[in-house]
Amino acid sequence: MSDGMIASKIDTIRSQFPALQRKGHAGQPCVYFDAPGGTQVPAAVIEAMKHYLSAQNSNTHGQFITSEESDQVIEHARELGAAFIGAPGASDIHFGANMSTITFHLSRALLNMLSAGDEIIITRLDHDANISPWLALQKFGIQIKWVDFNPENCTLKMDDFGKLLSDRTRLVAVGYASNAVGTINDAKSIVKQAKAAGALTFIDAVHFAPHGLIDVKAIDCDFLVCSAYKFFGPHIGMAYVRKSVADILQVDRVRPQNPLPPEKFETGTLNHEGIAGFNAAMNYLASLSQTDSPTTDVRQAIVKSMAAISAYEQQLSRKLITGLQDITGVKIYGIADLKALAHRTPTVSITVEGHTPQGIAHELGKRDIFVWDGDFYAVEVIQRLGLEKSGGLVRIGLTHYSTTSEIDRLLAGLREIAR
């Protein structure tokens, strides 16, 4: 699947997102380069949530039609979630408020399997939602070890894993991709090393999910978490838990809750309207690769869609990075080698000499171009780069609904500001 598929359909794709039709206070169409903090959603997602609330709103396991339909919405979501990440089955998929809440929940569950002196390996490249839940276990005697990254290109020091793994390592937690600088980590290789040491593996796929294909069977991880609002859905979180691990974990929940997976990890009533929106987001992604001969295999459709998204976004990244490199005073953090774009997402963070990140974001905002500034909850990244006192980074987050003309507007704005 080439990048041409998305490019040829970009007007149709963008027409499905109501937010992209909005004009800003300067009278120009708004440019949404804020996707790493949460993508915009297609109209179908909004309609699915509206339909659920207006026609199906009920709690589960009742003897009447709206309750039965709610059960079906949730079961279908598990099936679609499994297709999205290549999980063995629907019962491996669990929902919660968001990735952060789910991860704290799982960290408490894992504590029941740990003893004082056991070790967990985390990285300085991660979002704090994959750091704080593990640091919280230190008060129980759990030892935390850190994998560092190379500041010059923001890639993990892969040799650190081999140096840190020991017979006391119980878990390795790593991000699939950095939400701050876009680096895609070699999750499969990291999991392989951890398994050889007898450790469980936890993958934070929140930032990677809208940009590339996830296959938990190929990665062979024990846990993988993501949040739907980062891939064109509402604010809910999703987790994959390997069945053999799910069966032995002890988790906190209300007593009437089903003690077996997948309900085992869901403490009570779920966000049903959010799950209905999740289903619509999955259907949207699958639809991107549909042709005159559509497939009924959702996983196959998603595989094709994500390949097309990745190829298109690499072309956007090439244009953005090339343009940024031509602006005096702009410094790119992360992979900037145009031959290595397959190893980064289209999330590019910068600083501009003589300007604060907040000031840059504010000036771009006045031009109806939306970018984030600060640490993006990737506290360790900003500290390691020595940028906490200067306000962090400016983060430009492209996604498959972004266009080359929008990048041109951004680059023009940055040239004006840098001068």
Q: Where are the domains of the chain?
A: 4-41+302-418, 47-283
The per-residue pLDDT for 370 is 98
Q: In the chain, pLDDT over 70 holds for what percent of residues?
A: 98
Instruction: Classify strands 119-123 and 143-147 as parallel, antiparallel or unpaired.
Output: parallel
CATH topology match: 4-41+302-418 vs 47-283: no
Q: Is the peptide bond before 262 cis (omega within 30 degrees of 0)?
A: yes
- Per-residue pLDDT band for 83 (boundaries 50, 70, 90) equals very high
The answer to which of 172-176, 293-297, 353-357 has the lowest mean pLDDT is: 293-297
The per-residue pLDDT for 27 is 85
Whole-model pTM above 0.95? yes
The per-residue pLDDT for 292 is 56
Model confidence pLDDT, tens digit, residues 214-260:
999 999 999 999 999 999 999 999 999 999 999 999 998 888 888 88
The per-residue pLDDT for 1 is 41
pLDDT over 60 (residue 293):
no
pLDDT over 90 (residue 147):
yes
pLDDT over 80 (residue 294):
no
Query: Per-residue pLDDT averaged across 353-370, rounded?
Result: 97
CATH topology for 4-41+302-418 is Aspartate Aminotransferase, domain 1 (3.90.1150)
The per-residue pLDDT for 255 is 87
Model confidence pLDDT, tens digit, residues 261-286:
999 999 889 999 999 999 999 999 99
Pair of tokens at residue 286: 């699958």
Pair of tokens at residue 142: 């759990």
SS3 assignment for 18-60: HHHHCECCCCCECEECEHHHCCCCCHHHHHHHHHHHHHHCCCC
Average pLDDT, the chain: 96
Q: Which residues, at least 6 apart from 265, have a Cβ–Cβ distance to it below 8 Å?
A: 94, 96, 102, 105, 106, 109, 239, 241, 246, 249, 251, 253
Domain 47-283, CATH among 3.40.640.10, 3.90.230.10, 1.10.3720.10, 3.30.70.100 = 3.40.640.10
